[in-house]
Structure 1
Amino acid sequence: MNKKLTSVLLSSMLCSLVMATGQAHAQDKPLLLETIAIKAGRLLDVESGKVLRDQLIVIEGERIISIAPIAGTPIPATVKVIDLSRSTVLPGLIDAHTHLTSNPRQHGYSSLGTSTVRAALYGVRAARDTLHAGFTTVRDVGSEGFSDVALRDAINDGDFPGPRILAAGYAIGIKGGHCDNNLLPPEYNDTGKGVADGPWAARAKVREMAKYGADVIKICATGGVLSKGDAAGAQQYTLEEMQAIVQEAHKLGRKVAAHAHGASGISDAIRAGVDSVEHSSLIDAEGIKLAKQHGTWLVMDIYNDDYILGEGEKAGFLPESLAKEKEIGQKQRDNFRAAMQGGARMAFGSDAGVYPHGDNGKQFYYMVKYGMTPMQAIQAATISAADLLGLKDKLGSIKVGKLADIIAVDADPLADVTSLTKVNFVMKNGKVYK
């Protein structure tokens, strides 16, 4: 095993040198992939649910090329070594429900003064804070002016640090619904850019989102907590409209995430074939059964109730939003437990942007409190979330051939899951950011 690993390391370095020589002849610019070896004291294998001790993770460029016991394994002097032998090492975390360009202290009417450009610039800081918190991948489910798409592209171009982003563009919904802007009086005649009524208008809106760079389609199946003038549990899109959206999105290679608090909207969204149901606050036994039958992911944001009720008017939340949150917040947490016990597939999603970006890890405590083991909560934010996003072959676990998204904490998160709020090492695509 040791000789084999040494051979892999030396062969990898030789291949990189050969490639670099060829590249130099072609472009006069040598390209040599850096090789890094991480000494992991405790390595969480989220696929098996086991902890591996004293492992050496070798990374070349952006990918993991080998994993083996440290003991007796020689490391070439030219390989950069990162010593995490006193830490717990695990895959980069994934948050499947964020709003990176949303300012958590500008809700309700205070949000009206924020331009799309300012929101995108705010997203630069939010992206950095999210990455430094250990979340190397996020699904951003709805931003004004395609600001999430611009943020994604800027990060991909290396303009500034941030997580890998799957962007949705505008969230799609009915006129006067949760995805519309209902804060202005009639004389402004303002309608949200994601509004689409009827099956064919909804199909056209999906095509528009895809045209302008959306990776995923977000729809509003029911009312919401933070919107004005609608009941959170009331169904908004019909089954026919949601079926049209899902058919169009899947035809274009996009998955569909459905905002849904109410039981009927949740069930119809699942019947329509959505890939995930967000929030799922008032899900009932039928909805849990349907989710299990269809393999639909539930993404339940059970931390932000603390922030909404704790910050209240200081963050600009509407009085009716606070009333709605008081009504359904605890029900959502209880239904999280019921869905977990009912065997539904669960992925981590926190609704970051409602609360400060970078605090994503605070949700782990509640996931464990309401029914998950620490390992299950971590799996929800790694291998399960990667599966939901269609990235399981690249992300979600520390395995040979996968992208090197790796984080570390000093403590043991299986003993104290809140240690995941204190990430002290972050690597994304083989590059160290913290």
Structure 2
Amino acid sequence: MRAITLGLVGSLLASASALSAETTIIHADRVITDPATAPMGRSTVTVTDGRIVSVEEGWAEAPEGAEMVHLEGKTLVPGLIDLHVHLTGDPGGDFWREAVEPDEWGVVVGVKNAEKTLKAGFTTVREAGSAQHTAFSLRRGIEEGLIQGPRIIAAGPPLAIVGGHGDVSGFKPEINAILSSGYSCTGPVECAEKVRRASQNGADIIKITATGGVLSQQGRGLEAHFSDAEMKSIADTAHSLGLDVMAHAHGARGIEAAANAGIDTIEHATYLDEAAAKAMKDNGTVLVPTLMAFQGVTERLGQGVYTPTVETKIRDVAEIASVFMGKAYRWGVPIAFGTDAGVFEHGRNAGEFALMVGQGMSHRDALATATTNAAKVLHMENEIGRIAPGYSADMIAVEGNPLEDVTALEDVDWVMVRGRIAD
């Protein structure tokens, strides 16, 4: 009798669970489950409690109580992934704002930009550098459903050498010291300590500025900043904590040194040469090219936006920025999608696809960089980047076929992230 009673209770609980589950039935004329697979025709995707339950051909009827989404004439595509954004900032050259704007303002800006990014079709982003708590606050607000935005993998403040790109500069010494994030370091021991501090304070990934940069106020070159020993200490310490390392790097020798040190992704890689490309391939280091960043800063030349020092560096880098990713692609360097949104206006992220194709990448490979390739970089290849049973329900709808014309992704009609339909 006890066994029968328990069995009845179990059945009732299962029925109650089924009734309380939130199910959405999605019809689309075409479904791209992943870039390596031919598109399906008219299909039905079933989502329950934020997970994809099934993907089947034909338009199935919705069960009672389910929400129906009918995307006639649309193509359903996996939600896009941008591995390099700065949600808490907007484009501009006013470096002095760091001295007058509180960190909290970055959260306000970030709420605006998170929504714009999501509506542009990007359901997961890697936040590549912010004040200590701004990106982490956004991450939590989105996870808890308080604000609308993409899933965030956040770095927090980047590690930098004292006086290098990523450290505060351009002010009087005493002001530089006050504004410092506390994450600059010198020597392998101190750099290891700063990695541990970043982990302690909530970083999902470690960001370092491995070379000089274009938008910082120094006029010096773009080669390696950290020593080989410092970079290896950063990579080894991060990996021991289960964290990857992303490295801002422009100069070829800095790229090569970062790859050999075990850094996981290289951001920008403007002056990549064959030796640096070989080091990346040998070490499995992925390139995140951020082509939109170069376009964005070039659009603002001659308008008084940037200081003369920065304008000179932008002009110096402009020509090579239009060809370096194509060289990396031909050399077989693994590439994943990232834009540096925040250097240009948020919401324009998908403009990166046309620039990638313009440097010789196929439309199919370009879509893969922002789906399956990027998901693998995040170690989330079994969670995002595909439309498949068991995956997070991260999907977008567009006109046309992005496998044949990836610029179709610049105009997104419908977005779902974690099973929630964006307003």
TM-score for both structures, normalised by structure 2: 0.93
The Cα of 1:299 is off from its aligned counterpart by: 0.3
Q: Is the Cα contact below 8 Å between 1:96 and 1:139 reproduced in 2?
A: yes
- 1:168 & 1:49 partners in 2: Cα distance? 33
The letter for the 2-side match of 1:360 is N
- Out of 396-405 and 153-162, give the one that drifted further: 153-162
- 1:33 & 1:430 partners in 2: Cα distance? 12
Residue 6 of structure 2 is matched in structure 1 by none
Q: Is the Cα contact below 8 Å between 2:154 and 2:203 reproduced in 1?
A: yes
1:216 aligns with 2:205: yes
Q: Is the Cα contact below 8 Å between 1:179 and 1:194 reproduced in 2?
A: no
Secondary structure at 1:214 match in 2: coil
Residue 227 of structure 2 is matched in structure 1 by 238
- Residues 257-299 of structure 1 show CA distances to partners (whole Å, capped at 9, x for unaligned) of 0110000110010001011000001011011111112111100
- 1:187 & 1:76 partners in 2: Cα distance? 66
- 2:63 & 2:321 partners in 1: Cα distance? 53
The letter for the 2-side match of 1:99 is H
1:78–1:21: structure 2 CA closer, same or farther, 3 Å change rule? closer
Residue 428 of structure 1 is matched in structure 2 by 417
- Counting only pairs closer than 5 Å after superposition, residues 29-428 of structure 1 correspond to structure 2 as 32-70=20-58, 73-105=60-92, 107-190=94-177, 191-312=180-301, 316-428=305-417
Q: Is the Cα contact below 8 Å between 2:219 and 2:313 reproduced in 1?
A: no
The letter for the 1-side match of 2:421 is V
**For this pair of structures, how many residues does the alignment match?**
412
Runs of 4+ in 1 over 4 A off after TM superposition: none
Secondary structure at 2:278 match in 1: helix
- Residues 71-93 of structure 1 show CA distances to partners (whole Å, capped at 9, x for unaligned) of 6x454344322111311110100
- Residues 231-259 of structure 1 show CA distances to partners (whole Å, capped at 9, x for unaligned) of 35221001110000011100011000011
- 1:220 & 1:104 partners in 2: Cα distance? 19
- Out of 203-212 and 45-54, give the one that drifted further: 45-54
The letter for the 1-side match of 2:52 is I
- 1:146 & 1:106 partners in 2: Cα distance? 23
The Cα of 1:412 is off from its aligned counterpart by: 2.6
Q: Is the Cα contact below 8 Å between 2:91 and 2:343 reproduced in 1?
A: yes
- Counting only pairs closer than 5 Å after superposition, residues 20-35 of structure 1 correspond to structure 2 as 21=16, 32-35=20-23
Residue 7 of structure 2 is matched in structure 1 by none
Secondary structure at 2:41 match in 1: strand
Sequence identity, in percent?
A: 36
- 2:19 & 2:221 partners in 1: Cα distance? 54
CA RMSD across the alignment: 2.0
- 1:230 & 1:370 partners in 2: Cα distance? 29
- Out of 284-293 and 313-322, give the one that drifted further: 313-322
Q: Is the Cα contact below 8 Å between 1:375 and 1:414 reproduced in 2?
A: yes
1:137–1:232: structure 2 CA closer, same or farther, 3 Å change rule? farther
- 1:77 & 1:373 partners in 2: Cα distance? 43
Secondary structure at 2:140 match in 1: helix
- Out of 210-219 and 309-318, give the one that drifted further: 309-318
- 2:277 & 2:297 partners in 1: Cα distance? 26
Instruction: In structure 2, list runs of 5 or more residues that go unmatched.
Output: 1-9
The Cα of 1:338 is off from its aligned counterpart by: 0.7
TM-score for both structures, normalised by structure 1: 0.90
- 1:346 & 1:103 partners in 2: Cα distance? 26
The Cα of 1:380 is off from its aligned counterpart by: 0.2
Secondary structure at 1:177 match in 2: coil
- 1:392 & 1:50 partners in 2: Cα distance? 19
